[in-house]
Amino acid sequence: MQLSQALDVIEALHRAAEHPDVTDITRYGRDTAPGGQSPAGVRIWYRSGSSTMLWGEVPHREAAPVPLPGEMPPPKLRAARGLMFAHHLLDFAQPDVFKSWELCSQPGTVVPVAAALRITARDGDVIYLRGTSACGPGGAGGEPEEDQYPDYHIPEGVREWHLKVNALSAGRA
């Protein structure tokens, strides 16, 4: 599986999720594989003006699985929150193109929750999406301390998107 294919799934799931805090979702970078000069990823913009970037990085052999926390990190921890939300979307949609996904650490990096989302595709390829964030005009201090949308639930449309993609893929095979 190519990085661009994994990013297509991540982008589509975020769009289908219709989270009320998200104002825009964009793709960036030209690399088709991790480790190039123009890292490819998905950037999610929030009402505060900050963003989370999930971008392809060369997988680390020493990366260790990190248990999924019971609660979503606060908005001021956008990178951790973005990785965990992407994990929740994958859990909900269960895309057939992926065999598994897990949050993981990165050697030499200390971050809350996790540094990346490791995705193993059905073909055995491993996609390692690193999570980073950029603050809005007020910096991390401009982020809400608490979730502004505590009643948000992933809509059934995320699962329906997945079913439509599977049906289309089966029809082309």
Residue 83 has a pLDDT of 94
Residue 173 has a pLDDT of 39
Residue 163 has a pLDDT of 61
What is the tally of structural domains in the chain? Answer: 1
Residue 8 has a pLDDT of 92
Tokens of 103: 């949050």
Residue 33 has a pLDDT of 83
Residue 139 has a pLDDT of 61
pLDDT, tens digit (0-9, with 9 covering 90-100), for 30-49: 888 888 888 899 999 999 89
Tens digit of each residue's pLDDT, the chain (173 residues): 889 999 999 999 999 999 999 999 999 998 888 888 888 999 999 998 999 999 998 877 788 899 999 999 988 889 999 999 999 999 999 999 999 999 998 877 777 788 899 999 999 999 999 988 887 665 656 788 889 999 999 998 888 765 665 554 444 43
Contact 46, 127 (CB under 8 A): no
105/118 Cα distance (integer angstroms): 10
Residue 41 has a pLDDT of 95
Quote the pTM value.
0.89
3-state per-residue secondary structure call for 124-155: CCEEEEEEEEECCCCCHHHCCCCCCCCCCCCC
CA–centroid distance for 14 within its chain: 8
Provide the H-helix boundaries in the chain: 3-17, 78-93, 156-172
109 is in which domain, residue-wise? 3-172
